[in-house]
Amino acid sequence: MIESAHHSPDDHTLVHMQRLLHFLFPLLAFSPVTAQDRPNILWLTCEDNNVNWVGCYGNPHAETPHIDQLAADGFQYMHCYANAPVCAPSRSTWITGIHALSTGTYPMRSRYPIPHETIRYYPDLLKKAGYFVGNAKKTDYNIGGRDDKSPWDTDKVDWDQLTKKEPFFMVINSTKSHESRAFGDVNQTTHSPDNVRLAKYHPDIPEIRKNYAHYHDQMKKMDADIGTALAELERHGLAENTIVIHNSDHGGVIARSKRFLFNSGTHCPLIIRIPEKFRHLRPAEPGSKIDTLVSFIDMTKTWLTLCGAETPDYLQGKVFLGPKAEKRNYHVSFRGRMDERCDNVRAIRDRKFLYIRNYMPYAPWGQHLNYLWNMRATQAWEAHHRAGKTDAVTGRFFGTKPMEELYDTSVDPDNVNNLAGNPEYANELTRLSQALDQWQLEHFDSALLPETEMVKRSEESGKTIYEVVRDPSLYNLKALQRASSMALAQDPTHLPAFYANLDAVDSGIRYWAIIGCFNLQDKVSLDTEIIKKCLADPSHHVRIMAAWILYRSGDKESAQNCWNTLLTSNSYASLKIFNIIDWIGEDTTPYREAMKACAFDHQGYVNRMQQYMGVAEAKKKRKRNKNQVSR
């Protein structure tokens, strides 16, 4: 019998499956989500530098040959931004994949707890997926309730071990570009002070040029660390199986960069090299500059996805690399308390415009910070300003802030030309402001209460801040957002509403009502009898702002009595009182005994203010918060 030229139905199915497997095999063989063949990841982090310190990002004076070569072999991301402009909240965001502003871990060196039973660190998820995980050696997650080292298999770099532990995820952090490396003698530099590119906001004076040169020296040393790690990866035969990532943990480092939400504090280098074996993950041809908007919050979810690990629903980032890449329209960053200095700022941006909202515009940008003032450039800049030698651009840092800022970063990367009051850009300002409002609601912005007011609410409820802000009965985010918006508007027609809200049950609504009154003081005549009643408010933060209103109206005695009483009784708002007294800039004699007596700790930062204001005692038993300051 002659066989039919036609296939049977089963044969059709077999042929179809064979063709499908032939098509899918390369993807299955090299996909990072398969257990058989997943990439190693070597994450080479460093500290405190923005894109302006790296050669491949356009600074002709930078000496970063190893990073530049990595960019030539890989992919250079041109729009990558940190969510926090300082290390601890930035790394808190990384380890959880949740914004530190959403967990309550945004204030510097706070270590407030999170619900660890529901939030896992990303190395936990990588280990579950079969990865060996190491971190040498920086943790600094700013989270209480768990040892920072606990999720890692090792805190050392052992290349021989790594060759036996594939797939691995290894973090190596270089400390040689840290802010502290910019301290010290700036007169013995290898890099010439003549060959530096000053930011527009820095005056061109010798000490600042020397400090730039000094930091270029440190960047060169950090770059050498990157080169050493890449050489070891190659020498051990691991390069072809390993995706290499390099970035800083936030921007910096000369004054007005680290800790601030300008480009200088958040625009970070990000370079990724993907070997041929995983070419299907490449966003373009090697050597390309990538214009995708990347937020640090995206890194956690992206690394987990590349490794085929679980990506829990609570992750707040987007995947920016590989076949599961998601589009990002906006990046959000935030600034809270920085060491001993109180502040509260948000920023949102796309690839062109940067919008900044200052919730505490009365706090100057350049308020003295003990650690930052160790730097010679900071000292010289302040002295130059006090001598009356700065102009509107170089002196603005030492003044108070506007409510809103808007910058066209495509033509103003140093962010010195505020467009917020320019009618031509009104639509951009409204668009970004509304996008920020929406982001705050979707991501549970925890900082619409003062820091210690939120801590008090958390402790009284027996819940973590993360849980409090997700419970409308404890934290009415929409109401607080409306109240804060009214307070910042400086609209005199809101004054009756502020007076009414001073009797609200929610301390947060009362707080924003008194802030609204404070912001209107130069525009309307306030009823001082209503304000005086607030000196007995259950919230200490309401009291101290009411006192400041009275101080500015001429009733200094009532204000001083309020602040001194709170300081001597170890008020939970003590740090803010110290800040206010310093911001006023007048004789501190009326407060000296009360400041000296204050024993509230606030992670050690009250003592920092006591030292700065000359009232610290060498040995004093202090009322401690649950967690202590460390650096």
518-536, pLDDT tens digit by residue? 999 999 999 999 999 999 9
The neighbour count for residue 424, using CB atoms within 10 Å, is 7
Length of the chain: 631
Q: What is the structure's pLDDT at 589?
A: 97
259: left (phi over 0), alpha (psi -120 to 50) or beta: left
Q: What is the structure's pLDDT at 15?
A: 38
Prediction pTM value: 0.92
pLDDT score of 50 more than 80: yes
Q: What is the structure's pLDDT at 57?
A: 98
Q: What percent of the residues of the chain are helix, what percent strand, and what percent coil, each to the nearest 5?
A: 45, 10, 45
Distances in whole angstroms, Cα of residue 304 to Cα of each of 95, 249, 321: 12, 19, 11
Per-residue 3-state assignment (H helix, E strand, C coil) for 442-472: HHCCCCCCCHHHHHHHHHHHCCCHHHHCCCC
- pLDDT, tens digit, 9 for 90 and up, residues 543-577: 999 999 999 999 999 999 999 999 999 999 999 99
223 and 64 Cβ atoms separated by less than 8 Å: yes
- pLDDT, tens digit, 9 for 90 and up, residues 20-35: 444 443 344 334 444 4
The alpha carbon of residue 82 and the mean position of all alpha carbons in its chain are separated, in whole angstroms, by 6
In angstroms, the CA 506 to CA 557 distance is: 28
In angstroms, the CA 349 to CA 436 distance is: 9
347: left (phi over 0), alpha (psi -120 to 50) or beta: beta
φ, ψ for residue 247 (rounded to 5)? -165, 165
Average pLDDT over residues 173-202: 98
288 and 76 Cβ atoms separated by less than 8 Å: yes
Q: Letter for the amino acid at 255?
A: A
Q: What is the structure's pLDDT at 332?
A: 98
What torsion do the CA atoms of 200, 202, 208, 209 make, to the nearest 10 degrees? 10
395 and 203 Cβ atoms separated by less than 8 Å: no
- Lowest-confidence region among 30-44, 297-311, 390-404, 485-499: 30-44
pLDDT band at 141 (very low <50, low <70, confident <90, very high): very high
- pLDDT, tens digit, 9 for 90 and up, residues 340-372: 999 999 999 999 999 999 999 999 999 999 999
CB-based contacts of 163: which residues, under 8 Å, 6+ apart?
236, 237, 238
In angstroms, the CA 482 to CA 480 distance is: 5
Q: What is the structure's pLDDT at 37?
A: 83
Q: What is the structure's pLDDT at 617?
A: 74
Average pLDDT over residues 420-433: 98
φ, ψ for residue 369 (rounded to 5)? -120, 120
Q: What percent of the chain has pLDDT over 70?
A: 92
Q: What is the structure's pLDDT at 266?
A: 98
First-to-final CA distance of the chain: 88
Question: For strand 288-295 and strand 75-81, is the pairing parallel, antiparallel, or unpaired?
Answer: parallel
Average pLDDT over residues 469-479: 98
Average pLDDT over residues 319-344: 97
Crossing angle for the helix pair 556-568 and 574-584, to the nearest 10 degrees: 140
In angstroms, the CA 522 to CA 524 distance is: 6
Average pLDDT over residues 81-106: 98
132 and 168 Cβ atoms separated by less than 8 Å: yes
The neighbour count for residue 525, using CB atoms within 10 Å, is 9
Q: Is 312 helix (H, G, I), strand (E, B) or coil?
A: coil
269 and 55 Cβ atoms separated by less than 8 Å: no
Q: With 0-12 CB in 10 A as exposed, 13-18 as middle and 19+ as buried, what is 128?
A: exposed
**CA-angle at 256, arms to 331 and 177, nearest 5°:** 85
DSSP 8-state secondary structure symbol assigned to residue 620: -
Residue 3 or residue 425, greater confidence? 425
Taken in order of first residue, the domains within the chain and their CATH numbers are 38-324 (3.40.720.10)
pLDDT score of 630 more than 60: no
283 and 79 Cβ atoms separated by less than 8 Å: no
pLDDT score of 10 more than 70: no
Q: Which residues pair with 346 in a beta bridge?
A: 334, 357
Per the prediction, the chain carries an average pLDDT of 93
